[in-house]
Amino acid sequence: MLLEHINEPKDLKELSVEQLGQLAEEIREFLIEKLSATGGHLAPNLGVVELTLALHYLYDSPKDKFIFDVGHQSYVHKILTGRKEQFDTLRKYKGLCGFVKRSESAHDVWEAGHSSTSLSAAMGMALARDLKGENNKVVAVIGDGALTGGMALEALNHIGHEKSNVTVILNDNEMSIAPNVGALHHYLGKIRTDRHYQKAKDELQQLLNKVPAIGGKLAKTAERLKDSVKYLLVNGGILFEQFGFTYFGPVDGHDMNQLLDVMEQANNVTGPVLIHILTVKGKGYSPAEADSHKWHGISPYKIESGQVLKAVGPPMYTEVFSDALMELAAEDNRIVAVTPAMPGGSGLLKFAERFPGRMIDVGIAEQHAATMCAALAMEGMKPVYAVYSTFLQRAYDQVVHDICRQNLNVVFAIDRAGFVGPDGETHQGVYDIAYLRHIPNMVLMMPKDENELRQMMKTAMDYSDGPIAIRYPRINGLGVAMEPVMTPIPIGQWETVREGDSAAIIAIGPMVQVAEEAAELLKREGLNIRVVNARFVKPLDEEMLLQLADEGLNMLVLEEGCEQGGLGSAVLEFYSLRNKRDVSVRIKGVPDVYVEHGSIKEQRQEIGLTAEDTAAELKAMLPRVRKRVNGPA
Ligand SMILES: Cc1ncc(C[n+]2csc(CCOP(=O)(O)OP(=O)(O)O)c2C)c(N)n1
Ligand SMILES: CC(=O)[C@@H](O)[C@H](O)COP(=O)(O)O
Ligand SMILES: [Mg+2]
């Protein structure tokens, strides 16, 4: 076994190309075995084994800087840089991060999790290098999916302009998470299917050979035609060449010899270089090769059968959203679903099958998706922008400038709101309450359970006065009864789910259940805690807030979102703006920290968002309670 002797990149340098090939197979077996227990981004990593070996074989990390776009395909890099022993902790609490992580290794020079940032980072590092008079290599590895992200094209444009010494390795496996989309994808496809080019080129040559030697101008024209057509055919990377890059490729990204050869050639070129490699997502594990969409990010599985060990239970909120949307779309053909490259994760695959042409995947283009939805609404359609909370951060200006300011009736279906678990700090959906609620015309709501999500879907579809957003978490529902008819909820109306006169918890989303559990704990201590389902962040239920203040109840606002600017801030602002000085409000949410990977349960424990924490928080707020003398409360 070669892998056991590889503890840092220099251990690769003595290996032969054949040994590198053997090592690649050992790494594949390692990944398949380890991730069967931990889950993770298996397919992307199986596709970059040879590439990552070639990088560490040829270059000198960390002096030479490797920047992995998104970073979900950095497991091989981690194996080669001294972290293979930690793979049993991958994406677990306080364990190995599933993305590049500077605190883990000096070889991790740039972190991500969100797509399409690698080329901008590469430009910055190259510029710093040049200004400091240093001479290290800067290499960005970007996938064909990430290349559809606007930032990547902005950076490509700038790098070509600056003619910086940057090497871009385009890992083209024809997949984003789902099959990739876009004109660029089709362009790459043309280059990829070079056998057609090859055939055309050969036919052209044979044709020209048959033409009897013709003198004069015609001969010259024919020659020029042949050369320009040949150039175009041969040099599929014409687009990148026009951007100022020297294009190499397409290269078989699993052929060590080809990879090393082309990367050595590229090493001798000054200015921007783009190496286009063709890989297979999921290479070496047949279930992943057969369905790399499913195996992009996978739960633990049985290696032999490829059977995924999914926990059973009530439907995920995403599934409830998807079913409700299809029910509503069957009745309203204005409804169009828009996703930035997440049709699977956002639950839109069945919708796309059932309503052909009404599910639009724009690629990794959250900003474009938002403004396109604004225009769809402007023209009388009912766009449903399905997006993860964390990825909607990319489109903040478009939400303000194009959608809310023009007061357009876009429905935001914000998934992964709150803690997301294993993806950790780059993916936590804990900022959208803060970055949406202050925008004029926005309506923002969150259900306490899956049945209320259905009601909110109907509420949103019936609402036509401007933008409206529903946020829901990356968890299973509570298993509550689902009312067959979706009944809309009056906009801005909260709900008291538990009566009480000792204090009140104002909770949102899954925190309502936590609040009820805390109230149950405190009941044993003679406290009657009221629980309010603050299902609208905007508008607030002003009547209920004034009533709570009039009753003089101590209030604890409980939210799985940032405390600064969140629901609690909204409540405090409400009272302050009305000069209500004699109110007691405390906020319990996510403090000013990043919450790293682990399970959602562990993340709540770390932050103090459990029922026990909430009970303790409330007791600390209340004057010592005298035991009731006459019987239970
Ligand atoms: C801004 C943003 N939007 C969406 C995602 C979700 N996402 C993660 S990886 C990925 C696809 C990346 O495709 P590609 O770059 O081709 O890499 P591959 O997995 O094919 O190796 C997407 C859409 C993200 N991480 N960041
Ligand atoms: C790397 C990336 O951003 C996506 O693969 C993300 O991990 C998907 O998240 P879900 O697993 O919540 O769909
Ligand atoms: Mg890809």
Residue 521 scores a pLDDT above 50: yes
What distance in Å separates the CA atoms of residue 86 and residue 99, rounded to the nearest whole number?
14
**Which of the residues 28, 92, 281, 538 is marked catalytic?**
281
Residue 197 has pLDDT above 60, yes or no: no
Rounded distance between C-alpha atoms, residue 322 and residue 319, angstroms? 5
pLDDT tens digits along 35-50: 999 999 999 999 999 9
Is 114's C-beta closer than 6 angstroms to any atom of ligand 2? no
Residue 312 has a pLDDT of 85
- Which atom from ligand 1 is nearest to the alpha carbon of 41? 19
Q: Identify the CA nearest to 522 among candidates 615, 626, 588.
A: 615
Choice among 162-171, 343-352, 616-625 with the minimum mean pLDDT: 616-625
- Cβ atoms of 49 and 6 within 8 Å: the answer is no
Q: How confident is the model at residue 222 (pLDDT cuts 50, 70, 90)?
A: low
Residue type, 73: Q
Strand residues in 442-571 grouped as ranges (E):
443-445, 468-471, 495-498, 503-507, 529-533, 536-538, 554-562
CA of 177 to the centre of ligand 1 (A): 6
Q: Which ligand is nearest to the CA of 140?
A: 1
ipTM greater than 0.95, yes or no? yes
Closest residue to atom 11 of ligand 1, CA basis:
176
281 catalytic? Reply is yes
Give yes or no for residue 212 having a pLDDT over 80: no
Phi, psi dihedral angles at 13 (to 5 degrees)? -60, -30
366 is catalytic: yes
pLDDT tops 50 at residue 168: yes
Residues 566-579, mean pLDDT to the nearest whole number: 98
Strand ranges across the sheet with 495-498: 495-498, 529-533, 503-507, 554-562, 584-590
Instruction: For residues 456 and 412, give the distance between their C-alpha atoms in angstroms, rounded to a whole number.
Output: 12
> Tell me, what's the pLDDT at 629?
42
- The structure tokens 């309203």 sit at 332
Is residue 633 predicted with pLDDT exceeding 50?
Answer: no
Q: Is 176 annotated as a binding residue?
A: no
| Residue 320, burial from CB neighbour count under 10 angstroms (0-12, 13-18, 19+) | buried
pLDDT in tens, 453-472: 999 999 999 999 999 999 99
Specify the pLDDT at position 539: 99
60-104 pLDDT per residue, tens: 999 999 999 999 999 999 999 999 999 999 999 999 999 999 999
Q: What angle do CA 97, 610, 413 make, to 5 degrees?
A: 65
Domains parsed from the chain with CATH numbers: 3-60+73-98+174-288 (3.40.50.970), 317-471 (3.40.50.970), 495-621 (3.40.50.920)
Q: Residue 547 in contact with residue 415, Cβ under 8 Å?
A: no
Does pLDDT of 143 surpass 60? yes
For the stretch 389-407, pLDDT in tens is 999 999 999 999 999 999 9
The β-bridge relationship of strands 529-533 and 495-498 is antiparallel
Over range 335-354, report the average pLDDT.
98
Nearest to 361 by CA among 395, 337, 396: 337
Confidence of residue 626 (pLDDT cuts 50, 70, 90): very low
pLDDT of residue 285: 98
Weakest-pLDDT range from 218-227, 452-461, 512-521, 528-537: 218-227
Query: Known binder of ligand: residue 285?
Result: yes
Q: Angle, to 10 degrees, between the axis of helix 183-192 and the axis of helix 194-210?
A: 60
Which pLDDT value is given to residue 625?
45
361 CB under 6 A from ligand 1? no
Burial class (CB in 10 A: 0-12, 13-18, 19+), 201: middle
Question: What's the chain's average pLDDT?
Answer: 94
Residues 570 and 537 sit within 8 Å (Cβ to Cβ): yes
Q: Is the pLDDT of residue 219 over 80?
A: no
Q: What is the pLDDT of residue 192?
A: 81
Q: What is residue 217's predicted lDDT score, i.e. its pLDDT?
A: 62
Q: What confidence tens digit (pLDDT) does each residue in 227-286 have?
A: 655 555 555 788 999 999 999 999 999 999 999 999 999 999 999 999 999 999 999 999
| Amino acid 209: pLDDT | 65
Ligand closest to 346 (CA) is 2
CA distances from 44 to 122, 285, 288, 336, 357 (A): 21, 12, 9, 30, 29
pLDDT value of residue 213 = 57
* pTM for this model (two decimals): 0.94
Give the closest ligand to the alpha carbon of residue 292: 1
H-state helical runs in 133-254 = 150-162, 183-192, 194-210, 216-234, 238-242
Kindly tell me if the per-residue pLDDT of 224 is higher than 70: no
Q: Is 60 exceeded by the pLDDT of residue 199?
A: no
Mean pLDDT of 171-178: 98
Residue 207 has pLDDT above 70, yes or no: no
Cβ–ligand 1 contact at 341 (below 6 Å):
yes
* Ligand 2 pocket member 343 (CB < 6 A): no
Q: Whose CA is nearest to atom 25 of ligand 1?
A: 114
Residue 191 is predicted with a pLDDT of 86
Residue 221, pLDDT > 80, answer no
Would you place residue 311 in the very low, low, confident or very high pLDDT band (cuts 50, 70, 90)?
Answer: confident
Q: Is 366 annotated as a binding residue?
A: yes
Strands 554-562 and 359-361: unpaired
Predicted local distance difference test score (pLDDT) of residue 193: 76
